[in-house]
Structure 1
Amino acid sequence: MANIWHARFRYRSYRSNLKVKNSEFRMIYYSLITNSHVSLLIQDEEFFVNCHHIRSIWAPIKECINILKSKSATLADCFMQMIKLAIAIFRLPSSNPYKVSAIQIFNRRYLEFQHPAYLLCYFLHPYYRGLSLNGEGFRNAAITATTLWQNLEYSEQECKELLTQFQKYDQKLKPYDLSYEKNMDMPEL
């Protein structure tokens, strides 16, 4: 019950701050605005509420894009940013009218991105090992690795050895138990 009252207080506080900012904005810039459509838009409080909703969606997208623009971004980083973006969209309040559209767009793009080789890259990157990969994801990564291994004409016995190494890697058993420092070893694209 306390959370509901806290949320209502924050919402009312936000609305009152928004009204103050809008009225200050109108007082300062009203004489400078000559377009009647823009003037009406600025007087509409709902416009600023919509701007806030849109910003809450674009902020995590912008962060994701900026990280992936770096020269040191890897496929594993792309996969991790997709996960972070999914979490950010999921955490949007249900009152945000753009949440449903954001989820639909994200789901469509995620299906395009969900390639077995990308999942394998994410799994093999030591920094992301063990993060957000369920049993089915591990299985898919292992199947992809053995398929690639077979395409390189390795024997069935060598594929079984690869699967054993995969399990040791996932469980951080020797020789895969060493720590990993992201800042020390990051290949550039």
Structure 2
Amino acid sequence: MKAKKETLDTVADTRWTTVADSLHSFLLLRIPLLTIVTENDDRLPQKVKTVVNARNFFYEIENVYGIMRVLAYGVGIIQSNSATMADCYLILIYINRLTNEFVRSSETKEFGRFVSKVVNIRLREFQNFYYAASFFLHPKYRGAGLLTDCRSQVYKTIAEYSKRIGNNQATTKMVIASLQRYEMKIGPYSLNYSKDDTPSSWWAM
């Protein structure tokens, strides 16, 4: 039997995202694995044959892979050297939303609950308004989707920070006025954020 060049990936202790790669390789090599078990029935341990031949073995792998793929994608972005606080805030919300969908699904409910619990623990670390302010101040996002109460708290957080670094009340009011123009894309704040920009370079223009 000739198989394609895909290999069965293993999990690396130092990179937990390789779990997704390992699960995906099982799905890619489903037919070769089943063929190997069939053609080597007398050589393989009974436990291996029982697991691989189980009716729902690959089905469950596919469900778990659906969750781990999302986590691997999110963690890959967060661990990027170019990731910002706003990126982390957005990605964790994205992961939280998708894991909640897995919890609602009967096929992935049990494992989804476990993943959701871990994600929620991590998400709580980002539940302060400095991260929300970073999301708001990122010119690519501009706080898209933030509710009115959260936006109000973002303005309050930025105003408090302005005072904390020594700005007087008049300067702080100017900062807030500038943020309002930024939110409405008025004047210099109407510039688009391109793929060649960074938050720092955009604000420096």
Residue number in structure 1 paired with 2:105: 94
Residue number in structure 2 paired with 1:105: 118
Contact 2:133/2:158 (8 A) holds in 1: yes
Quote the offset at 1:22 in angstroms.
6.0
Aligned counterpart in structure 2 of residue 27 of structure 1, from 32, 35, 42 = 35
- Counterpart code for 1:172: K
Structure-2-length-normalised TM-score = 0.71
Contact 1:72/1:187 (8 A) holds in 2: no
Residue number in structure 2 paired with 1:59: 69
Q: Bigger relative contact order, structure 1 or 2, given CA contacts below 8 A and separation 6+? A: 1
Quote the offset at 1:54 in angstroms.
1.0
Closer/same/farther in 2, CA of residues 26 and 185 from structure 1, 3 Å limit: closer
Contact 2:89/2:135 (8 A) holds in 1: yes
- Counterpart code for 2:50: L
State how 1:35-46 maps to structure 2 within 5 Å: 35-46=45-56
Number of residues paired by the alignment? Answer: 168
Aligned counterpart in structure 1 of residue 185 of structure 2, from 172, 175, 181 = 172
Contact 2:137/2:143 (8 A) holds in 1: no
- Counterpart code for 1:173: I
Give the CA RMSD over aligned residues.
2.5
State how 1:58-137 maps to structure 2 within 5 Å: 58-92=68-102, 94-95=105-106, 96-97=108-109, 98-137=111-150
Contact 1:72/1:186 (8 A) holds in 2: no
Residue number in structure 2 paired with 1:50: 60
- Counterpart code for 1:25: L
Contact 1:120/1:144 (8 A) holds in 2: yes
Contiguous gaps of at least 5 residues in structure 2: 1-28
Structure 1: how far apart are the matches of 2:163 and 2:199? Answer: 28
What percent of counterpart residues are identical? 24
Structure 1: how far apart are the matches of 2:74 and 2:152? Answer: 27
Report Cα offsets for 1:26-58 as digits up to 9, x if no partner: 333341762222221112123322212211110
Aligned counterpart in structure 1 of residue 172 of structure 2, from 159, 166, 169 = 159
Residue number in structure 2 paired with 1:184: 197
Structure 1: how far apart are the matches of 2:190 and 2:34? Answer: 61
Residue number in structure 1 paired with 2:16: none
Structure 1: how far apart are the matches of 2:67 and 2:200? Answer: 31
Quote the offset at 1:24 in angstroms.
6.5
Structure 2: how far apart are the matches of 1:45 and 1:109? Answer: 35
Structure 2: how far apart are the matches of 1:179 and 1:171? Answer: 13
Higher helix share: 1
Contact 2:139/2:199 (8 A) holds in 1: no
Report Cα offsets for 1:38-86 as digits up to 9, x if no partner: 2211121233222122111101111112222322111111122123223
- Counterpart code for 1:180: Y
Quote the offset at 1:186 in angstroms.
5.8
